[in-house]
């Protein structure tokens, strides 16, 4: 299993690292992509190396897309190469997991219409305006898509994200 | 499964929260004990509620003891009630998982002699002086005891800690 994370400076540290270590516990291989390679820094000052840039990613090399929250998605959503990656996963019904502000990337990619989803409370308005069927639940699974609201949801989020990962056809 | 965490202000945030959410993903019930109840704060400004104080803990109510690192263990190890809890788990061969500076609590409890263990590099000297068989590995399992060195070891640490938890006789 190969997981792709899209993020940038300002990520929510627990929302990136709890899944990161959980995926590694399963033996998954993880690439972190950002607008450029190099260390990105979270809101709580943890750093992680972005070892890929969006432009060089071939989505077909990955089994699952993971979008952590914080202030990073506001940056990621402005990058057309990042949005192309999100569209590829969603268009092919490949596993996508997004938490907190992560769904903003899917809104900008234009792939949330008609999908049952949740997100950080402040993002709910634009999620609904983009046509998603918003639910205020700890975790919402709709086909290939798992979403959660906040760090406190991480246990439920990871339980569902791992179930989803196990359904993936290896890339 | 019921897990007891002993910690205090200055805990290493990822070393507490990655296991915390992982245990909750498994459906484990978690109590956080400190010298007094109330919120304790990590080095990276995340907070968690200590819902128990050491003095009121009956170790027999728990299946597993978890000792996260950071600056908190330097405080925990000074509390005789906390040390009694650690001695009870170790004396009864019940699962104990400790990471980074967490093993300092086991040193002060006087329960590391002859045990294969690892810890944060700066703690290695006192661990060896206390009679432990130190190894510089990502994770070391010795009977009822799992230890790791640092946040980067969390995937290996949790894989082994979960294996150990599954061997526990429910309290």
What pLDDT, in 10s, does the model give residues A100-155?
999 999 999 999 999 999 999 999 999 999 999 999 999 999 999 999 999 999 99
d(CA A153, CA A168): 23
Q: Is B67 on the interface with A (CB under 8 A)?
A: no
The pLDDT value given to residue B167: 86
- Cβ–Cβ gap B18/A18 under 8 Å: yes
Three-state SS annotation for A97-149: EEECCCHHHHHHHCCCCCCEECCCHHHHHHHHHCCCEECCCCEEEECCEEEEC
How many Å separate Cα A76 from the centre of its chain? 11
A163 pLDDT band, cuts 50/70/90, is very high
- Assess whether pLDDT exceeds 80 at residue B69: yes
The pTM for the full model equals 0.97
Helix (H, G, I), strand (E, B), or coil: what is residue B139?
strand
Q: Is A25 on the interface with B (CB under 8 A)?
A: yes
Q: Is A22 on the interface with B (CB under 8 A)?
A: yes
Residues with Cβ < 8 Å from A19, sequence gap 6 or more? A66, A68, A97, A99, A154, A157, A158, A161
d(CA A148, CA A117): 8
Q: How far is A157 from chain B (nearest CA, A)?
A: 8
Q: What sign does the dihedral B87-B90-B94-B99 (CA atoms) show?
A: positive
Print the domain residue range for A151.
2-167
Residues of chain A positioned with their CB less than 8 A from the CB of B155: 21-22, 24-25
In a domain, B171, yes or no: no
Mutate which: B11, B16, B18, vs A, most A CBs within 10 A = B18
d(CA B60, CA B133): 28
| Nearest by CB: B25 against A13, A14, A158 | A158
Q: Is A163 on the interface with B (CB under 8 A)?
A: no
pLDDT tens, residue by residue, B38-51: 999 999 999 999 99
B24 in the Ramachandran plot: left (φ > 0), alpha (ψ -120 to 50) or beta? alpha
Residues of chain A positioned with their CB less than 8 A from the CB of B17: 14, 18, 151
In a domain, B63, yes or no: yes
pLDDT tens, residue by residue, A17-68: 999 999 999 999 999 999 999 999 999 999 999 999 999 999 999 999 999 9
Domain count along chain B = 1
Catalytic residue among B52, B101, B115, B149: B101
Query: Which residues, in sequence order, are bridge partners of residue B38?
Result: B50
Tokens of B162: 């979960």
Q: Are strands B139-142 and B29-34 parallel, antiparallel or unpaired?
A: unpaired
Judge whether B23 and B97 are in contact, CB under 8 Å.
Answer: no
Q: How far is A1 from chain B (nearest CA, A)?
A: 15
pLDDT tens, residue by residue, B99-137: 999 999 999 999 999 999 999 999 999 999 999 999 999
d(CA A56, CA A93): 22
- Cβ–Cβ gap B21/A159 under 8 Å: no
The pLDDT value given to residue A98: 98
> CATH no. for residue B43?
3.40.50.880
The pLDDT value given to residue A14: 98
- Half-sphere exposure for A17 (CA within 13 Å, toward CB): 25
Q: How far is A126 from chain B (nearest CA, A)?
A: 28
Q: What is the DSSP letter of A79?
A: -
Q: Are strands A139-142 and A145-148 parallel, antiparallel or unpaired?
A: antiparallel
A36 in the Ramachandran plot: left (φ > 0), alpha (ψ -120 to 50) or beta? beta
Q: Is A17 on the interface with B (CB under 8 A)?
A: yes
Return the active site residues of A: 101
A168 pLDDT band, cuts 50/70/90, is confident
Q: How far is A44 from chain B (nearest CA, A)?
A: 6
In a domain, B57, yes or no: yes
- Cβ–Cβ gap A18/B13 under 8 Å: no
Residues of chain B positioned with their CB less than 8 A from the CB of A24: 154-155
Q: Are strands A96-99 and A145-148 parallel, antiparallel or unpaired?
A: parallel
């Amino acid at each position: 299993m190969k997981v792709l994370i899209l993020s940038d400076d300002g990520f929510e540290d627990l929302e990136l690292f709890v899944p990161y270590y959980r995926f590694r516990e399963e033996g998954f291989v993880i690439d972190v992509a950002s607008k450029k390679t190099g260390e990105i820094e979270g809101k709580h000052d943890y750093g992680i190396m972005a070892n890929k840039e969006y432009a060089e990613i071939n989505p077909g090399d990955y089994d699952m897309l993971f979008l952590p929250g914080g202030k990073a998605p506001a940056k990621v959503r402005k990058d057309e190469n990042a949005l192309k990656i999100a569209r590829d996963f969603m268009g092919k019904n490949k596993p996508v997991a997004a938490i907190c502000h992560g769904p903003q990337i899917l809104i900008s990619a234009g792939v949330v219409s008609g999908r049952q989803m949740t997100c950080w409370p402040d993002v709910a308005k634009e999620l609904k305006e983009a046509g998603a069927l918003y639910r205020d639940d700890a975790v919402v699974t709709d086909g290939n898509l798992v979403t959660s609201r906040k760090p406190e949801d991480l246990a439920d989020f990871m339980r569902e994200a791992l179930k989803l990962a196990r359904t993936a056809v290896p890339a």
